[in-house]
Amino acid sequence: MLRIKNLHAYYGRIRALENVSLHVRPGEIVSLIGANGAGKTTLLNSISGLIPCAEGEIYFEGRKITGLSSEKVVAAGISQVPEGRQIFHPLTVLENLQLGAYLRFKKKEKKAIERDMEWIFELFPRLKERVKQIAGTLSGGEQQMLAIGRALMARPKLLLLDEPSMGLAPLIVRDIMNTTSALRDKGVTILMVEQNARAALRISDRGYVLETGRVILQGSSEEILNDNEVKRAYLGKDYKTFWEGREKA
């Protein structure tokens, strides 16, 4: 579905991505993990057309999308949930969701948009309860739900999630991860950036580890979870005890 070949990206003279290649198959959840500054968000922004690619190519469903505007990338079937949520704080929950379907309104898909709105409310019942509430007054977890819902209103084939667990309480993180897994079951393919490597890899099919703009490791989630260097750098020595305790709870 998504194929990236030898991608390079810069901020001025600073190289953010170096020769990055990866792929995402239909129906997968693929995680990108790495430290701050590794290039994870830059990679998602390059896919979305927010950052120009200096070299390399990006293909989506066999079509080259390198250099397309963000609007055309969304129209092609890719939506991004940005780091920090970036909802429209002065607008209501409903208005935020409607803006997610902006391109579809232009195509006069009113009935389909209404059906999808109900689907979002089934995924996130709290959003239905707060449909007329100003988005900026929502809790952090509710804002993350809204950001995901807004992206889904574009009816993407590929959803880019950037740090969905950032700043959230553990129980909310669990809910967000469960919803992410449920979206995959509904046919949405997901590429997820996440510093909570434990949580991300537990629901992912495969993963990539980025370090200083380069892919240094790739494999199944199980392989990455069992890699000694990944354990040391991203999981911590107690990660196995942590998850065993969760499973017994």
Mean pLDDT by 10 residues, the chain (249 residues): 97 93 97 92 96 96 96 96 93 96 84 94 95 96 96 96 91 92 94 90 94 94 88 61 41
Task: Please report the pLDDT score of residue 236 as a whole number.
Answer: 58
Task: Please report the pLDDT score of residue 25 as a whole number.
Answer: 97
The domain boundary, picked from 125, 155, 185, lies at 155
The CATH number that applies at residue 172 is 3.40.50.300
> Are 150 and 160 found together in one domain?
no
Tokens of 138: 């929502």
**Domain of residue 108, residue span:** 89-155
Which residue type, as a one-letter code, is found at position 69?
Answer: S
Report whether 184 contacts 17 (CB < 8 A): no
Task: Please report the pLDDT score of residue 248 as a whole number.
Answer: 45
> Are 218 and 148 found together in one domain?
no
Residue 84 lies in a domain: no
- Structural domain tally of the chain? 2
Task: Please report the pLDDT score of residue 108 as a whole number.
Answer: 79
Residue 83 lies in a domain: no
Predicted model pTM:
0.89
| Closest-CA residue to 38 (of 235, 234, 231) | 234
What is the Cα–Cα distance from 65 to 124, expressed in whole angstroms? 32
> Are 43 and 164 found together in one domain?
yes
> Are 132 and 221 found together in one domain?
no
> Are 73 and 174 found together in one domain?
yes
> Are 162 and 150 found together in one domain?
no
Residue 82 lies in a domain: no
What is the Cα–Cα distance from 46 to 216, expressed in whole angstroms? 19
Task: Please report the pLDDT score of residue 109 as a whole number.
Answer: 82
Task: Please report the pLDDT score of residue 231 as a whole number.
Answer: 79
> Are 107 and 209 found together in one domain?
no
The domain boundary, picked from 132, 155, 178, lies at 155
In order of 32, 71, 74, 120, the CA distances from 193 in angstroms are: 5, 21, 19, 22
Task: Please report the pLDDT score of residue 220 as a whole number.
Answer: 95
56: left (phi over 0), alpha (psi -120 to 50) or beta: left
